[in-house]
Structure 1
Amino acid sequence: MRKRLRWTLGGIVVLLLLAAGGLVVAYPAVAATTCPRCFGLTRVGDNLYGERGLTAAQRDQLTTIAAEARRRVEAFYGGRESDPRLVACFTDGCYSRIGGGGEKGIAVLDRAVMLSPHGLDAVIASHEVAHVELHRRLDGEVPQWFDEGLAVVVSDDPRYLGEHCRVPFDGPLPQTLPAWLAAAGADPQVYSRAACRVQRWLDANGGRGAVPALIDRLNDGADFPAMR
């Protein structure tokens, strides 16, 4: 009986190791944000990790970025319901190792954020944290253009707001993630068109408080409203 139990337990351990190994191969970003130390990262602060060997200035930079990203999201919503882990790289080799690609930053499974060496600033970080916050609050889904446009507004991204919003855009915007990725790859200013539409809707509906109210209605089963 004991021998059989040992074999059973041993088999379970092997299966778990194989599953973990498969996760690392298939979804390195998920594995890296789940176990940053397994990928050579070190704790920099509260739910904040960076590659090893950072200077004191680099550690301070990451701490400031993380704090400002969380502050912007909290200021927009009047509080935060999410606390995503931030994992940041100062080198391309580090970012590639944890599963990153050509993006500046990315939200991972709505519970973590990865920042590349080209996205180490509060705008990019707060954009990705804004995605996580929205998805934490929302039971279902919204059009992808609204998700992205709202993240631009929350992060106060100067590349896509301000003067870009002087002429309203009333054409169709990408509804799904694949359609959004294709559109953004062809013309990054799709972010501006989406953000300006969100900002126009906010201005017409009482400002920032319109988003939590919309989320409540959607969670109660309402349809996503028409926005132009």
Structure 2
Amino acid sequence: MSEHLIPKAPDLEWLDDGVPRAPAFGDTYFSRAGGLAETRHVFLGGNGLPERWAGREHFTIAEFGFGTGLNFLTTLAALESFAKTQPAPKLTFLTFELYPMTADQLERAHAAFPELSDQSARLRQLWQPVSGWTKLSFGQANLVIGIGDARELTGGLVYGEGEDLPQTAIDAWFLDGFSPSKNPELWEADLLARAYGLTRPGGTLATYTSAGWVRRNLQAAGFEIAKQKGFAGKREMVAGWKSV
């Protein structure tokens, strides 16, 4: 493998409760109040999932910031549970990460979520991040991960039907970069406008942040947005949609 294809892993601090923190961004990878519960509240609930999977043959989710993979693992577990009672769509989960964790870092982080131990073990077994695009298969779901700067990688994507890049049509966005004040690159107007262009009419978004300038960038991109009740001690979060 060419050395230049091996991405840089993040430098991490591990807090007393086992939560990883990125000193470079001054933020944790998931909520100390309960990362799994937050993902379910903000990203699944904020996008109307799993209810929106009913009757769909294909469904595409995209996120900025793969991190520990918690959002993907939570979604995969929900999809597999959904499939036990009714037909489930083929899921494409498209994600971006500039500094992918090592398998050892993932294992340590995943210890906080024993409920997802089956899904997380499968992810780590396949985990060999290299720069550029990689597709990993999880049966009913495909994880398509772009290792690199999301602002550059999204430039190669084109709106369109189907599962294969560069054509894609996003049904739901999980906007989950580090705090906007610490990681403004993932919340900038141009990137959010590109996200809007890749979104299917009727597609949705959800994010834990309700920062005013992020809301304005989302609206400027074309999304309709609304505040909703936040998770745990957070008063508000934001959900949005692309009008049909």
Fold shared, TM-score > 0.5 on shorter chain = no
TM-score range (shorter-chain normalised) is under 0.3
Higher strand share: 2
Pair member with larger Rg: 1
Higher helix share: 1
